[in-house]
């Protein structure tokens, strides 16, 4: 035996296995192995098994440690091999066969969710107020939809009665405090951010209850009851309502097999955000200020929100309901 681990790839200089052996070594380096006062046990990779004046108990004790050290090394190696194997597994197909409808799917977070769902095998219905935003969503059913109009929502529900996953992502950001917020801004915020969720739930929940299976994902925000932000009076009020509606739907329909959860993003780099930044008096300074309030030092990505939506839509989250998942880079800490 050479005293080295025989697991391929784990004995390179600086590898974790070598580091463990060195860290737990109880004796001198190999340069001291020839010393007449020590004996080298190849199982110990350089550790002293016993000195000439301390045979017996010392030898037994240190051999046990040697076995433990090598067991740790082997376990570490096997664990890494398992991780490597897992990385080779194709994780796609988590939503295969599920009919999913996403509102606000024309751009930003909604579009990323639609694309992620499609990549995971879902049969996607992508809707947006503006039909031109839905171009390029290959392999999906695209539906122009004003989620504030009850009749239009009911018509889409009648056309697609088998929707199993509903993602309410349509949203509106009103900028201003309570003094500057107009009645029109407040009414639009209520209609788009709140009433739309009621419309969609009323239209699609009955079918989910009949099948005793369904998942609703509401896109909320950390700017709600989670934290405050300047000039977001109407927006924060309506997103707080989204959190409350999520929990209400969750508790009311849990016995019917319907789960309802929400995702609260922080500052996500989307076309909508870019538009608001461009409207600022100093766009460059406005963007820098947004980044500065992020503990992770960057804006979030729409794909990072979409990843959570996939999990909530899939059976992986079958024991989750009424939960709010925060993805904000530490902004609300």
Q: Would you name the residues annotated as active-site residues?
A: 235
Using an 8 Å Cβ cutoff, are 160 and 153 in contact?
no
What backbone torsions phi and psi does residue 230 show, to the nearest 5 degrees?
-60, 140
The residue to which tokens 């988590």 are assigned: 94
Say whether 209 sits in a helix, a strand or coil: helix
Give the tokens for residue 81.
């091999």
d(C-alpha 288, C-alpha 272), whole Å: 17
Nearest to 21 by CA among 46, 58, 49: 46
Say whether 135 sits in a helix, a strand or coil: coil
Query: Phi/psi class of residue 126: alpha, beta or left (left: φ > 0; alpha: ψ in -120 to 50)?
Result: beta
Q: In sequence order, which ranges of the chain are alpha helices (DSSP H)?
A: 16-24, 57-88, 108-119, 150-159, 183-189, 196-211, 233-252, 271-278, 283-292, 302-313
Using an 8 Å Cβ cutoff, are 174 and 188 in contact?
yes
Q: Which residues contact 148 (CB under 8 A, 6 or more apart)?
A: 191, 192, 195, 196, 199
What backbone torsions phi and psi does residue 167 show, to the nearest 5 degrees?
-115, 115
Give the tokens for residue 134.
């839905």
Give the tokens for residue 194.
């709140």
Using an 8 Å Cβ cutoff, are 224 and 285 in contact?
no
Nearest to 176 by CA among 167, 166, 168, 184: 184
């Amino acid at each position: 035996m050479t005293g080295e681990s025989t697991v391929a790839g784990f004995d390179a200089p600086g590898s974790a296995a070598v580091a463990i052996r060195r860290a737990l070594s109880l004796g001198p380096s190999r340069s001291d192995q020839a010393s007449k006062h020590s004996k080298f046990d190849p199982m110990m990779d350089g550790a002293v098994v016993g000195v000439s004046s301390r045979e017996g108990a010392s030898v037994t004790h240190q051999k046990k440690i040697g076995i433990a050290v090598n067991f740790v090394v082997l376990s570490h190696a096997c664990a890494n091999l398992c991780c490597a194997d897992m990385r080779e597994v194709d994780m796609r197909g988590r939503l295969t066969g599920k009919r999913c409808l996403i509102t606000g799917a024309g751009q930003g977070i909604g579009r990323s969710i639609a694309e992620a769902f499609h990549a995971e095998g879902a049969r996607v219905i992508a809707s947006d107020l503006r039909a031109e935003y839905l171009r390029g969503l290959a392999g999906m059913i695209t539906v122009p939809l004003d989620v504030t109009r009850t009749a239009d929502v009911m018509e889409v529900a009648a056309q697609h009665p088998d929707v199993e996953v509903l993602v309410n992502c349509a949203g509106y950001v009103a900028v201003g405090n309570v003094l500057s917020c107009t009645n029109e801004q407040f009414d639009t915020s209520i209609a788009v951010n709140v009433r739309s969720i009621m419309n969609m739930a009323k239209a699609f929940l009955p079918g989910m209850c009949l099948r005793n299976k369904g998942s609703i994902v509401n896109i909320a925000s950390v700017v709600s009851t989670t934290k405050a932000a300047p000039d977001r009076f109407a927006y924060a009020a309506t997103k707080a309502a989204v959190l409350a509606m999520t929990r209400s739907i969750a508790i009311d329909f849990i016995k019917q097999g319907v789960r309802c959860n929400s995702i609260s993003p922080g500052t996500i780099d989307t076309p909508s955000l870019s538009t608001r930044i461009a409207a600022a008096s100093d766009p460059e300074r406005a963007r820098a200020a947004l980044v500065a309030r992020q503990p992770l030092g960057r804006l979030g990505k729409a794909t990072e929100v979409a990843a959570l939506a996939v999990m909530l839509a899939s059976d992986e989250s079958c024991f989750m309901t009424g939960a709010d998942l925060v993805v904000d880079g530490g902004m609300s800490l």
